[in-house]
Copies of this chain bind each other. A is one copy, B any other.
């Protein structure tokens, strides 16, 4: 988009950028966050380390953008939770799917890498909230608002709190490996959270 670049240079630049992001995702999937280095990413992408540092300030920043690129290439039209009219059934479906995703080794490494980067970097964490977490949070709250309208959830409930009580235990169990992520566990989270916020 800048005027001081010829179309060719710009295209080459974009190719390098995509190669770096793809190399980052591959390396994380192969060996996990701790073992991925800027050097390894540069070697895999076939670029110099300086090329990476021109665009990103840290390993965490490259990792973050490698995730962002994935979510951009997916359908950007917005996320929606199922709404069959039965809140408990819909949430159980979503939480069971989330539990299964967490248990999937393919998903495991990249998402641990992302979380590790977020823990130490408040700036990345803010970008994460804005660009990746917010659309998902909004989708969850839209479903909860619909349930408030249909009388299945306390109309005065704090929807951030409801959403955290539903999802945070699952997240913590997975992150710290403190218990099994089963369908039964997902169902129990839904049943008990909804009991707390009955109209």
A interface, CB within 8 angstroms of B: 32-34, 60, 112, 115-116, 118-120, 122, 125-126, 128-129, 133, 158, 160-161, 164-165, 167-169, 171-173, 175-179, 185, 188-189, 192-193, 195-197
Contact = CB atoms under 8 A, between A and B. Distances in A.
A112 B118 contact: no
A178 B120 contact: no
B122 A177 contact: yes
Tell me the interface secondary structure of chain A in the complex. helix
Contact of A161 (B160, B188, B196): B188
Given A165-B165, A193-B165, A193-B196, A120 B116 contact: yes
A92 to B, nearest CB: 15
Nearest to A111: B119
A189 B164 CA distance: 10
B125 A161 contact: no
A198 B18 CA distance: 53
Contacts of A118: 175-176
A77 to B, nearest CB: 25
Given A34-B120, A195-B195, A164 B175 contact: no
B116 A119 contact: yes
A128 B128 CA distance: 28
A178 B32 contact: no
Contacts of A169: 161, 164-165, 168-169
A141 to B, nearest CB: 13
Given A129-B177, A196-B196, 19 more contacts: A33-B119, A115-B119, A116-B120, A118-B175, A119-B119, A125-B176, A125-B177, A128-B176, A133-B178, A160-B179, A161-B185, A165-B165, A165-B193, A168-B168, A168-B169, A168-B171, A168-B172, A168-B173, A195-B195
